[in-house]
């Protein structure tokens, strides 16, 4: 960086570190940590309310309305949000870099779009240190080369990008509402699994299963291979699919038969973080795909429908059950194929399960369209960001 080149730190104000008890006495405060931020919405959705005498050691940074918070851990995940009026005064974790735009010099919305843009994220990923736990420091973030246009031009650009982001958020909302509808239909048809108001027979997933097999351990390749391979990241949290990032694998005839998913199979993610272990979805494509070793391929017998089992495992009760059964192994949670089959659930008639499956398939067609529109909205936002946010001439810097 040259002596005359400006950096992000020149445009932001210092943020005060606080002690919650000294600041608030014996009271409660809103605590924003990494889990409080929805990475897709780039918004705070579930902050904690914490008694001051139980404040986490990381609860140190006082925030104000329009502050932009950026996770310093795993910058590739782009965990960024703006402090809204609703959460102004919250105390943020030291896992965030809190950026407070200087009034009249830097527009907060412009800062948000700039710091969350693909170009800036890519730069931060390149500056991250630590192989297993990549992170950047506050100093590194504030040392990023930064030469914004005039304040008026910043506001103009931010307004355009806000509109593009609004379209993206509406698509995300449509997807969320469709998934909520499916969860509501599940409860309406089968009742609360915990109370069993409809008095269905009780059993386990094993009662509905004909086979449960792990995927292949063959190494997948980015561009070459006979078969596309499904991995844990292809299953979304709500029970859907994301085929945007595929890898490929070569399998001989015997292995291909053993490790392929076909239409109607339930795929279960057996290893992940505590909140993501047990991600489940039903594979509904006509063409078969291979499955990776972290997935379990489950095929139903004549008593079970995969959509019913997936609906249960993606319900609130199902997710609580999964979290309770997960075993920690080397920092990851794990539920093996046997433990998964031992999960208790209700055993409604197959005709009712099939009726639910028909509704799911119809709703998934809507979800498919929503996801296609979402990809278009995200592409539009990135194209506008690349065009309007000027990264030209900003040299990369060394990690601080």
> Which pLDDT tens digit goes with each residue over 184-223?
999 999 999 889 999 999 999 999 999 999 999 888 888 7
Read off the pLDDT band of 21 (50, 70, 90).
Answer: low
Q: Are strands 91-93 and 202-204 parallel, antiparallel or unpaired?
A: unpaired
The better pLDDT of the pair 40, 358 is held by: 358
Average pLDDT across the chain, whole number:
88
Q: What is the pTM of this model?
A: 0.72
The better pLDDT of the pair 6, 132 is held by: 6
Report all structural domains of the chain as residue ranges with CATH numbers, in order of start.
Answer: 8-169+379-388 (3.90.220.20), 201-347 (3.90.220.20)
Lowest average pLDDT, out of 14-23, 258-267, 331-340, 346-355, goes to 14-23
The reported pLDDT for the residue numbered 297 is: 95
- Give tens-digit pLDDT for 279-292: 899 999 999 899 99
Segment (H or E) for 383:
helix 350-388
Residue-wise over 332-371: b if at least 16 C-beta within 10 A, else e? ebbbebeebbebebbbbebeebebbbebbeeebeebeebb
**Share of residues in the chain with pLDDT > 70 (%):** 93
299/201 Cα distance (integer angstroms): 21
The reported pLDDT for the residue numbered 330 is: 60
Read off the pLDDT band of 394 (50, 70, 90).
Answer: very low
Read off the pLDDT band of 329 (50, 70, 90).
Answer: low
Residue-wise over 100-126: b if at least 16 C-beta within 10 A, else e? bbeeeebbbbbbbbbbbbeebbebbee
- Give tens-digit pLDDT for 331-381: 677 888 999 999 999 999 999 999 999 999 999 888 888 888 888 888 888
Q: How many helices (H) and strands (E) does the chain have?
A: 10, 23
The reported pLDDT for the residue numbered 138 is: 95
Nearest partner of 284 among 299, 303, 262, 312, judged by Cα: 262
Read off the pLDDT band of 130 (50, 70, 90).
Answer: confident
């Amino acid at each position: 960086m040259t002596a005359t080149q400006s950096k992000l730190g020149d445009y932001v104000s210092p943020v005060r570190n606080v002690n919650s008890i000294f600041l608030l006495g014996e009271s409660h405060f809103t605590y924003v940590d990494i889990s409080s931020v929805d990475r897709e919405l780039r918004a705070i959705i579930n902050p904690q309310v914490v008694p001051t005498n139980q404040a986490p050691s990381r609860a140190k940074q006082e925030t104000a309305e329009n502050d932009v918070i950026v996770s310093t851990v795993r910058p590739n995940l782009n965990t960024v949000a703006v402090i809204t009026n609703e959460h102004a005064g919250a105390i943020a974790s030291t896992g965030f870099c809190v950026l407070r735009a200087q009034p009249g010099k830097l527009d907060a919305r412009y800062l948000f779009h700039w710091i969350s843009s693909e170009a800036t994220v890519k730069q931060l990923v390149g500056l991250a240190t630590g192989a297993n736990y990549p992170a950047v420091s506050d100093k590194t973030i504030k040392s990023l080369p930064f030469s914004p246009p005039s304040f008026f031009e910043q506001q103009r650009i931010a307004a355009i990008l806000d509109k593009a982001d609004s379209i993206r958020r509406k698509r995300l909302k449509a997807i969320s509402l469709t998934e909520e509808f499916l969860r509501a239909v599940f409860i309406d048809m089968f009742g609360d699994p915990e109370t069993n108001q409809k008095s269905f027979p009780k059993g386990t997933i094993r009662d509905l299963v004909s086979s449960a097999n792990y995927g292949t351990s063959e190494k997948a390749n980015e561009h070459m291979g006979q078969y596309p391979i499904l991995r844990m990241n292809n299953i979304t949290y709500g029970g859907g699919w994301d085929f945007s990032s595929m890898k490929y694998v070569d399998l001989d005839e015997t292995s291909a038969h053993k490790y392929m998913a076909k239409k109607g199979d339930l795929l279960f993610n057996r290893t992940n973080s505590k909140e993501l272990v047990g991600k489940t979805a039903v594979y509904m494509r006509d063409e078969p795909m291979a499955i990776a070793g972290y997935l379990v391929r489950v095929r139903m017998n004549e008593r079970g429908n995969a959509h019913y089992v997936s609906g249960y495992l993606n319900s609130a009760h199902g997710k609580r059950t999964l979290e309770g059964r997960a075993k920690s192994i080397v920092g990851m949670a794990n539920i093996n194929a046997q433990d998964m089959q031992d999960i208790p659930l209700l055993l409604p008639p197959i005709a009712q399960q099939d009726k639910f499956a028909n509704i799911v398939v119809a709703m998934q067609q809507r979800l498919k369209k929503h996801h296609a529109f979402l990809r278009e909205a995200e592409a539009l936002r990135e194209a506008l960001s690349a065009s309007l946010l000027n990264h030209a001439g900003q040299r990369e810097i060394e990690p601080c």
